[in-house]
Amino acid sequence: MMLYEYDCPDHGRFDEFNTLAARNNMQCPECGKDAKKAMSVCHAYMDFTAGFDSSLNKWVETKAQRERICEEKGLKRYKD
């Protein structure tokens, strides 16, 4: 099961686990009205230290090298 975000017309956004086949069919847990599946945004944490990066399946020596790889893959890095 995946975690999806839904919008209820009366109660706003909520998260629920649902199967892939039934992902578009969800009722609000508070009022029971049909809720529309919302567009979700995924964020991922990346460690910017030197070493083997299992997500990239390669050895990364520098922060600059890792940032270059992220840029090539079209990933956006949000800095603190």
Q: Residue written as tokens 């050895």? A: 59
Cα 75 to Cα 80: distance, rounded to the nearest angstrom:
16
Q: What is the pLDDT of residue 54?
A: 73
Q: What is the pLDDT of residue 46?
A: 59
Count Cβ neighbours within 10 Å for each residue of 52-80 and write b for 16 or more, e otherwise.
ebeeeeeebeeeeebeeeeeeeeeeeeee
| pLDDT value at 48 more than 70 | no
Reported as a pLDDT band with limits 50, 70 and 90, residue 78 is: low
Length of the chain: 80
Q: Mean of the per-residue pLDDT values for the chain? A: 81
* In the chain, domain spans: 2-37, 43-80
